Amino acid sequence: MKKLSLIIIAAALCSACTKNYPVANYDIIPQPKEVKLSEEKSFVLSQKTVVYYEDGLQREAQFLSEYVDDILGFAMDVQAYQDQANGIVLKLDSEDFDQAEAYEINVTPKQVTIKGFDAAGVFYGIQTLRKSLPISQLTTLNSQLTLNSKLSTLNSQLPIGTIRDYPNFAYRGMHLDPCRHFMDLDSVKIYIDMLALHNMNQFHFHLSEDQGWRIEIKKYPELTEVGAWRSGTVIGHNGNLYDTIRHGGFYTQDELRDLVRYAAERHINIIPEIDLPGHMQAALATYPQLGCTGGPYEVWRRWGVSDDVLCAGNEEAMQFVEDVLNEVMDVFPSPYIHIGGDECPKVRWQQCPKCQAKIKELDLKADGRFTAEDYLQSYVMNRMAKVVEARGRRVIGWDEILEGNVSETAIIMSWRGTEGGIEAAQKGHDVIMTPSSHLYFDYYQSEDIANEPNCIGGYLPVERVYAFHPLPEELTPEQQRHIIGVQANIWTEYIASFRHVQYMAMPRMDALAELQWNNPEERDFDAFVERCRKMAQLYDLYHYNYAKHIFNPQAWTDTVVPNLATRKPITLREQPAEKYAFKGAVVLNDGELGRSAYNSGRWLGFSGTPLDAVIDMEQNATVTNVRFRALVKKGSWIYNPSQAKVLVSDDGTTFREVAQKSFPISGWADKDGIFTYELEFEPASARFVEVVINGHDLPEDHDGYGHPAWIFVDEIEVW
Ligand code: ACM
Ligand code: ZN
């Protein structure tokens, strides 16, 4: 049965292919900046095509041959360049381009030239050609067969024309955390392949954490004997249950050197991160004398931010970090070394005689903006920055390092929103934008949480990634030049397997690739999705796992039955909270329903002010019923409404109340969820309907007692 269907497909393809080979399509991700096509006949890519390379481009030529083999089923011959060669020619021409990594592909009937400013440019030209190749059923079938049994090779046509392209951002990164859950070396190599496919050039490798130390350090061998292993892991979201499965792993320096080579071949730099002075509990578990209390400590089995950090007043702890950084720099030639700096609680330092003595010795003082302990962290970070800079490298730190007196040369990674990045760029720091609001790929990508793998929370669909503008308008053009790059992060507290990493990465990574390479002013999401479909064929070919929500949008848009209010003019007398205002009043009658993610753009959120909406039905109607949906999520301070009123008007000026209803506050024993509230009344003739919804105050048994509760409403219906 299987054999028969293979033959039918092969036959169908072959009858079609004598003259009409499948045609490449240059609409890919990231979209090339300039594509000029002519109507002439095409270049035929076949088994006879030879790849010629100029000096220094042999590896690139091999890559091209390998990619064509993956997709079309034949490897091309690779030869040093000869004059007038027909085939695909790879060459360098820095004169013809304004910037590094730029490339041009010129396709004529006899020859394809891929020309780059540098080898990286040629490599991106090759990526573009690779992503343009037609992927057919035959490709997919071939990929499942062994070399000897491949069905046939598949010629294809490349349309005649010229593509010229270059990246907008010099730094195009993705991060991976193999500390919360260890990812083996082969998986990390596949991750690097994924980056290369998306024209990314920086891999931020987060190598130390409270929950595991992942890099061999020769001077401190116990770090990986002890610090790389935890005895169990908390179950779920930091409850009191733990499994007792030993978890861990680490990379030897030899393995990491091999990884550096592997990435460099793909024009990717690996940026190692040693996160300090916080997130160090695995190191403290190994060497308790490096902490303020002396321990004992365990390699942490929970998630979150540990209070136990390196003792900043202990010279041995400082020497430890210097030694570690020096070995890290021996292994990684990266021009950037990441030294963390995020989420470092100061509670131990406040109590620690050594830390307090250091504060005295350095004459550090609180000044209203920052505490003496904040300045102590700056002292640690700046001291380590000197160690890094002494070897001709630059430090990167998370945006917390702005709290104090950070070294001017430090590059700031803005993760708690874009504000840190804005402040840093204004102060003259170089900045990498990686705000959790748009680029944390450990967040949910669908509102349909019940059908998603468990994750850390949040809601970050592809649309939101695609809508991110990395250059804040608050900055002058001069300051904007300090935004050197864009990056997404994948933290793995709730991601235990590499398949799951891939699922979280793609296709959000496609949206990221567009921002990094093109940062387009105008964005067309539908066209982007079509280009993603082509990438998805490659993902299937390479057996990459990826999320498919955007290819099937109907499956996750819930709508209301159209009613008298649907998509009619609507105004708000009171504004929602800025953070939850989204498109404004129209969210309330656009017919689209939200799910449990209240920051999805489908809900409006109010705190301390009522929702007061006026709907103009545009003609007189008889109304008898108003319904609305509200969210209850008590842990997030979101409660049911306390009261709702309906008023009607003929002229939009004088309103008359027709219904009012009160709702008792939801208790802890009541379920959270989405609830519909309904007000029925005597038939009333009206053109305008006003709906006023008030919130409760948080009750005494709530952490937020003393504050108003939030109300979130997604849709108002009038019948
Ligand atoms: C971070 O997410 N703690 C940088
Ligand atoms: Zn201390």
pLDDT digit string, tens, across residues 202-234: 999 999 999 999 999 999 999 999 999 999 999
Q: Ligand 1, closest atom to CA 440?
A: 2
Q: Ligand 1, closest atom to CA 413?
A: 4
Q: What's the CA-to-centroid distance between 287 and ligand 2, angstroms?
A: 14
pLDDT digit string, tens, across residues 470-523: 999 999 999 999 999 999 999 999 999 999 999 999 999 999 999 999 999 999
Bigger pLDDT: 150 vs 713: 713
Q: What is the mean pLDDT of residues 424-438?
A: 98
Q: What is the mean pLDDT of residues 595-603?
A: 84
Range with the poorest average pLDDT among 38-47, 455-464, 557-566: 557-566
Q: Where residue 146 falls among pLDDT bands split at 50, 70, 90? A: low
Distance of CA 215 to the CA centre of its chain: 24
- In order of 168, 321, 358, 406, the CA distances from 315 in angstroms are 44, 10, 10, 20
Does 619 score more than 80 pLDDT? yes
pLDDT of residue 152: 59
Query: Could you give the angle at the alpha carbon of 214 between the alpha carbons of 208 and 216, nearest 5°?
Result: 115
Q: What's the CA-to-centroid distance between 402 and ligand 2, angstroms?
A: 21
Q: What's the CA-to-centroid distance between 259 and ligand 1, angstroms?
A: 24
Separation CA 98–CA 101 (nearest Å): 10
* Dihedral, CA of residue 676, residue 679, residue 684 and residue 688, to nearest 10: -60
- In order of 376, 576, 627, 633, 640, the CA distances from 609 in angstroms are 42, 8, 20, 18, 14
Distance of CA 597 to the CA centre of its chain: 18
Range with the poorest average pLDDT among 36-40, 83-87, 399-403: 83-87
Q: Ligand 1, closest atom to CA 436?
A: 2
Q: Ligand 1, closest atom to CA 343?
A: 3
Q: Where residue 8 falls among pLDDT bands split at 50, 70, 90? A: very low
Ligand 1 atom 1 nearest Cα: 342
Q: Where residue 41 falls among pLDDT bands split at 50, 70, 90? A: confident
Q: What's the CA-to-centroid distance between 174 and ligand 1, angstroms?
A: 14
Bigger pLDDT: 586 vs 552: 586
| pLDDT > 90: percent of the chain | 84
Bigger pLDDT: 535 vs 450: 535
Q: Ligand 1, closest atom to CA 279?
A: 3
Q: Ligand 1, closest atom to CA 398?
A: 4
Separation CA 257–CA 325 (nearest Å): 15
Separation CA 216–CA 698 (nearest Å): 51
pLDDT digit string, tens, across residues 273-295: 999 999 999 999 999 999 999 99
Q: Which residues line ligand 1 (CB under 6 A)?
A: 342-343, 398, 415
Beta strands in 560-672 (DSSP E): 570-572, 592-593, 604-607, 611-632, 641-649, 656-662
Does 458 score more than 60 pLDDT? yes
pLDDT of residue 596: 76
pLDDT of residue 58: 98
pLDDT of residue 18: 35
Q: What's the CA-to-centroid distance between 74 and ligand 2, angstroms?
A: 62
Q: Where residue 557 falls among pLDDT bands split at 50, 70, 90? A: low
Surrounding residues of ion ligand 2, Cβ less than 5 A: 292, 311, 313, 352, 354-355
Does 15 score more than 60 pLDDT? no
Ligand 1 atom 3 nearest Cα: 342
Residue found by looking up tokens 């505490």 in the block: 371
DSSP 285-338: HH-GGGBSS--------S-S--S--B-TT-HHHHHHHHHHHHHHHHH---SEEE
Mean of all residue pLDDT scores within the chain: 93
pLDDT digit string, tens, across residues 630-654: 999 888 899 999 999 999 999 999 9
Range with the poorest average pLDDT among 16-25, 67-76, 291-300, 657-666: 16-25
Tokens at 413, concatenated: 């990674």
Ligand closest to CA 175: 1
Cβ count near 218 (within 10 Å):
11
Q: What is the mean pLDDT of residues 28-41?
A: 94
- In order of 236, 282, 320, 379, the CA distances from 306 in angstroms are 18, 11, 20, 21
Residue found by looking up tokens 């967040």 in the block: 443
Q: What's the CA-to-centroid distance between 295 and ligand 2, angstroms?
A: 12
pLDDT of residue 143: 63
Q: Kindly calculate the radius of gyration of the chain based on its CA atoms and give it in whole angstroms.
A: 29
Indicate the top mutation candidate among 441, 491, 492, 493 to test ligand 1's pocket, ranked by most ligand atoms within 8 A of CB: 491
Tokens at 146, concatenated: 């062994």
Q: What is the mean pLDDT of residues 544-560?
A: 82
Q: What's the CA-to-centroid distance between 339 and ligand 2, angstroms?
A: 19
Q: What's the CA-to-centroid distance between 415 and ligand 1, angstroms?
A: 7
Q: What is the mean pLDDT of residues 101-108?
A: 98
- Whether the bond between 277 and the residue before it is cis, its omega within 30 degrees of 0, is yes
pLDDT of residue 142: 63
